[in-house]
């Protein structure tokens, strides 16, 4: 006998989205692939004053600015692009 069927969810998603998207989340959730997911909306103030400085500190020395370090290219792995 099944008493109650519960959906299991993965970890919640933390998203920073424009206020208009939060107000009408049902309309915008597809843009974030988050419909039916547990979502916590990150406040702009927290993002700018807490997350960004920590992220920048962790990724210091990354000249590329894209989350990848330059070691890959220094070791001759230029994927034949002549870089």
- 10 pLDDT tier (thresholds 50, 70, 90): confident
Assess contact for 44 and 22: CB atoms under 8 A: no
Q: Map 24-82 to HEC letters.
A: CHHHHHHHHCCCCCCEEECCHHHHHHHHHHHHHHHCCCCCCCCCCCCHHHHCCCCCCCC
Q: What is the pLDDT of residues 12-60, one digit of tens each?
A: 999 999 999 999 999 999 999 999 999 999 999 999 999 999 999 999 9
Task: Indicate if the pLDDT at residue 73 is higher than 50.
Answer: no
Residue whose pair of structure tokens reads 């990150």 in the numeric block:
42
**Structure tokens given for 9:** 């969810």
Which carries the bigger pLDDT value, residue 56 or residue 3?
Answer: 56
Q: Which residues are CB-neighbours of 34 under 8 A, at least 6 positions away?
A: 13, 15
Check residue 16 and give its pLDDT.
95
State the Cα–Cα distance between residues 57 and 14, nearest whole angstrom: 21
The mean pLDDT of 62-69, rounded to a whole number, is 56
């Amino acid at each position: 006998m099944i008493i109650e069927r519960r959906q299991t969810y993965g970890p919640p998603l933390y998203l920073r989205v424009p206020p208009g998207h939060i107000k009408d989340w049902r309309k915008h959730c597809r843009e974030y692939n988050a419909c039916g997911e547990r979502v916590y909306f990150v406040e702009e103030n927290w993002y700018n004053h807490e997350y960004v400085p920590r992220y920048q500190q962790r990724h210091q020395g990354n000249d590329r600015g894209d989350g990848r370090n330059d070691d890959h290219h220094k070791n001759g792995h230029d994927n034949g692009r002549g870089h």
